[in-house]
Amino acid sequence: MKVLITGGAGFLGSHLSEAFLARGDEVIALDRDAQAKVRHLLGHRRFRLVVDSVMNPEILDALAAEADLIYHLAGVVGVEHYVADPYDVLSVNVNGTQNLLRAAYKHGRRVVFSSTSEVYGRNPAVPWSEDADRVLGPTTIDRWCYATSKAAAEHFCLAYRRLGLPITVLRFFNVYGPRLDRLDVGRVIAILLGQLLRGEPLTVIGDGSQTRCFTWIDDAIRATVAAGIVSAAEGQVINVGTDQETSIRALAELMIRIGGGPSTIRFVPHASVYGDSYEDVPRRVPDVRRMKRILAVEATTALADGLARTIAWFRGANADAARPAVA
Ligand SMILES: NC(=O)c1ccc[n+]([C@@H]2O[C@H](COP(=O)([O-])OP(=O)(O)OC[C@H]3O[C@@H](n4cnc5c(N)ncnc54)[C@H](O)[C@@H]3O)[C@@H](O)[C@H]2O)c1
């Protein structure tokens, strides 16, 4: 089977590429940049990286024509982008998804779309089943543009489902592991890791009581592969994650305990990091029954185990980056 993965050079895409290569499939990764995360795959005879954009309908048409199955993972992700360049977030996540769906529909290809736990916003009634309400803040707060863009993209997916396109929407919950992001940028674990590896205080935003459910990459990838293969997944929206809830303060403490070193915790106000364009989500917990029932996958890896492996990987791979910058 030939699998097209848009955003295939990203964190999830690189691990998903490995999973399909291990099954003996062919993988075409389409990504506009960030080749670093698939550098190790570039010589593989069943792996091809196409450096282009999902904003280019012609390339999508050509690649959809030759693929048997399509994963649409390309997206602009990361709080720093939501507050710095909302236009890019909205444009790629909405218009890029439309482009992809048009090409998949034309060629009759099955699609798995990567949505996010962010679509539930700050709905206080956790855990969230897939049919739970979305509770978002105002459009004047840039932070909500990502949730809005992914929800709009989901609507397009479900509209194409009505036209007969076989499609599955996955909502990922804080997946982490090797190659997550560069140290110090992107998602919370990568930011805390940079500080941990340099022995600096770990900056926890707010009072650290906000919770997330951190999902080990291999667990998420097993679910993601199944979503493209299991026929019962067609037409479904499925949460992908663990329901083990962890506060950011507990995450930081655990990272210090596992990683060792002199780091402590420093609490900083939201506004000092993201300005006024940010609102936090107090609790984020999935209902994972549909994932277990349809995909037959459970995210069982304990956070301590996954963090130990992640810290070890970043220590090895980023030995240089982890050194303090020389003024
Ligand atoms: N990792 C998570 O916990 C998580 C949670 C929720 C949703 N998701 C979704 O899963 C997908 C993959 O996320 P990730 O964690 O691997 O992030 P990532 O940033 O590592 O990967 C996204 C990739 O998309 C690429 N991309 C961006 N714009 C593009 C464009 N116009 N054309 C082609 N490629 C483009 C980026 O270069 C990047 O390599 C994203 O759509 C994200 O919204 C991830």
Which atom of ligand 1 is found nearest the CA of 179? 20
Per-residue pLDDT at 117 = 97
* Average pLDDT, integer, range 234-248: 98
Distance from C-alpha of 14 to C-alpha of 159, rounded to nearest angstrom: 29
CB 175 within 8 A of CB 164: no
Does 319 have pLDDT greater than 80? no
Distance from C-alpha of 118 to C-alpha of 196, rounded to nearest angstrom: 27
User: Within a domain: residue 103?
Assistant: yes
Q: Which amino acid is at 90?
A: L
Give the best-scoring range by mean pLDDT among 80-84, 185-189, 272-276: 185-189
Does 77 have pLDDT greater than 80? yes
Give residue-wise pLDDT tens across range 214-226: 999 999 999 999 9
Total number of domains in the chain: 1
Per-residue pLDDT at 45 = 98
Per-residue pLDDT at 81 = 81
327 C-alpha to ligand 1 centroid (Å): 33
Q: Which band of pLDDT confidence, cut at 50, 70 and 90, is reported for residue 200?
A: very high
Give the closest residue (by CA) to ligand 1 atom 28. Answer: 75
User: Within a domain: residue 198?
Assistant: no
Query: Which tokens in the block code for residue 218?
Result: 């291999």
**Domain span including residue 68:** 2-175+215-241+280-300
Per-residue pLDDT at 278 = 66
Does 194 have pLDDT greater than 50? yes
Per-residue pLDDT at 326 = 32
User: Within a domain: residue 59?
Assistant: yes
Distance from C-alpha of 40 to C-alpha of 35, rounded to nearest angstrom: 10
17-26, 240-249, 318-327: least confidently modelled range? 318-327
In the block, residue with structure tokens 């037409």 = 235
Distance from C-alpha of 49 to C-alpha of 8, rounded to nearest angstrom: 8
In the block, residue with structure tokens 């956790």 = 126
CB 168 within 8 A of CB 234: yes
114 C-alpha to ligand 1 centroid (Å): 8
CATH code for position 139: 3.40.50.720
101 C-alpha to ligand 1 centroid (Å): 17
CB 105 within 8 A of CB 163: yes
* Average pLDDT, integer, range 53-75: 98
Per-residue pLDDT at 178 = 97
User: Within a domain: residue 232?
Assistant: yes
Give residue-wise pLDDT tens across range 138-184: 999 988 999 999 999 999 999 999 999 999 999 999 999 999 988 98
User: Within a domain: residue 294?
Assistant: yes
User: Within a domain: residue 156?
Assistant: yes
Per-residue pLDDT at 80 = 79
Residue to mutate, 4, 28, 41, 73, ligand 1, most ligand atoms under 8 Å from C-beta: 73
Q: Known catalytic residue: 120?
A: no
Specify the pairing of strand 167-172 against strand 110-116. parallel
User: Within a domain: residue 183?
Assistant: no
Catalytic site residue from 71, 82, 120, 146: 146
Give residue-wise pLDDT tens across range 248-301: 999 999 999 999 999 999 999 887 776 665 678 999 999 999 999 999 999 999
Which residue ranges have their beta carbon within 6 Å of ligand 1? 6-7, 9-13, 30-34, 53-55, 73-77, 92, 96, 114, 116, 172, 174-175
Per-residue pLDDT at 150 = 98
Does 327 have pLDDT greater than 90? no
Per-residue pLDDT at 318 = 61
198 C-alpha to ligand 1 centroid (Å): 27
Query: Which tokens in the block code for residue 86?
Result: 């909302």
Mean pLDDT, all residues of the chain: 94
Per-residue pLDDT at 33 = 84
User: Within a domain: residue 266?
Assistant: no
